[in-house]
């Protein structure tokens, strides 16, 4: 079956450390993968997009990798801050360049001082 | 700019009632979509549109209708509400007519309870 898996358990880390979140997918061949942040009671907010021919993408303290062989994307937040506490969602196009965007269930990140 | 505006923010319906969730965007985006979000299920795509007059089904279209008569508006209709449709609904839009061109802009959500 097709699925996108993100750790359902919350990730708790100390301020200043690097947070690493995982997104694994099965039986999809996406052309790209996106990451979003969602705060409680709010809509998701776009963070980064990485295409299949890109190994790594950076934006300020954020870094995303995309390994189409492992069918996995890693999302890193360096020098994490309590303000980074939120749920992070990965999303992909379920078949090459379709107009649909399918989301994982998200991982809740808690950064404590 | 207002971005993506959803109304109402909260709604309680009785089983069998009908209603329309409104979604409007002022960014001249061609692509618009509706998702529902349930605990443990993540965001699931209901319907989407790549431009005025064009709509297509997502993962969970049953029980929902959409239309796209203008670029700005993409209403979601529940013809006969069921308790299984209790959820938080998000409308989203994107540049161009292909979601692969970039990010989705989401509204703040509409929380629907069906009794």
Average pLDDT for chain B: 92
pLDDT for the residue numbered B42: 86
Is B109 within 8 Å of A42 (Cβ atoms)?
yes
Nearest-Cα distance to chain B for A54, in Å, is: 14
Number of Cβ within 10 Å of residue A83's Cβ equals 8
* A103/B42 Cβ within 8 A: yes
* pLDDT bucket at B85, cuts 50 / 70 / 90: very high
* pLDDT bucket at B101, cuts 50 / 70 / 90: low
Q: Is the pLDDT of residue B5 over 80?
A: yes
Sign of the CA dihedral with A94 first, then A96, A100, and A103 last: positive
Q: Is the pLDDT of residue B12 over 90?
A: yes
pLDDT for the residue numbered A94: 77
* pLDDT bucket at B40, cuts 50 / 70 / 90: confident
* B59/A43 Cβ within 8 A: no
* A32/B58 Cβ within 8 A: no
Residues of chain A with C-beta less than 8 angstroms from the C-beta of B57: none
Q: Is the pLDDT of residue A50 over 80?
A: yes
- Report how far residue A81's alpha carbon sits from residue B109's, in angstroms, rounded to the nearest whole number: 26
* pLDDT bucket at A2, cuts 50 / 70 / 90: confident
């Amino acid at each position: 079956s097709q699925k996108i898996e993100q750790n359902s358990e919350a990730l708790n880390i100390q301020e200043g450390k690097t947070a690493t979140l995982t997104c694994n997918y099965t039986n999809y061949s996406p052309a790209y993968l996106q990451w979003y942040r969602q705060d409680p009671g709010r809509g998701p907010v776009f963070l980064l997009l990485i295409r299949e021919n890109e190994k790594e993408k950076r934006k300020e303290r954020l870094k995303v990798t995309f390994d189409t062989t492992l069918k996995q994307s890693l999302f890193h937040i360096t020098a994490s801050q309590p303000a980074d506490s939120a749920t992070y969602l990965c999303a992909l196009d379920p078949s090459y360049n379709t107009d649909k965007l399918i989301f994982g269930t998200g991982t809740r990140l808690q950064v404590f001082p | 700019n207002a971005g993506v505006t959803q109304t109402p923010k909260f709604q309680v319906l009785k089983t069998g009632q009908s209603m329309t969730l409104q979604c409007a965007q002022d960014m001249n985006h061609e692509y618009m979509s509706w998702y529902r979000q349930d605990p443990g299920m993540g965001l699931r795509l209901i319907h989407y549109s790549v431009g005025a007059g064009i709509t297509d089904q997502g993962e969970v279209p049953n029980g929902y209708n959409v239309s796209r008569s203008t670029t700005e508006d993409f209403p979601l209709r529940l013809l006969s509400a069921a308790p299984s449709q209790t959820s938080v609904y998000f409308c989203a839009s994107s540049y161009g007519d292909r979601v692969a061109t970039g990010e989705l802009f989401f509204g703040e959500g509409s929380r629907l309870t069906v009794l």
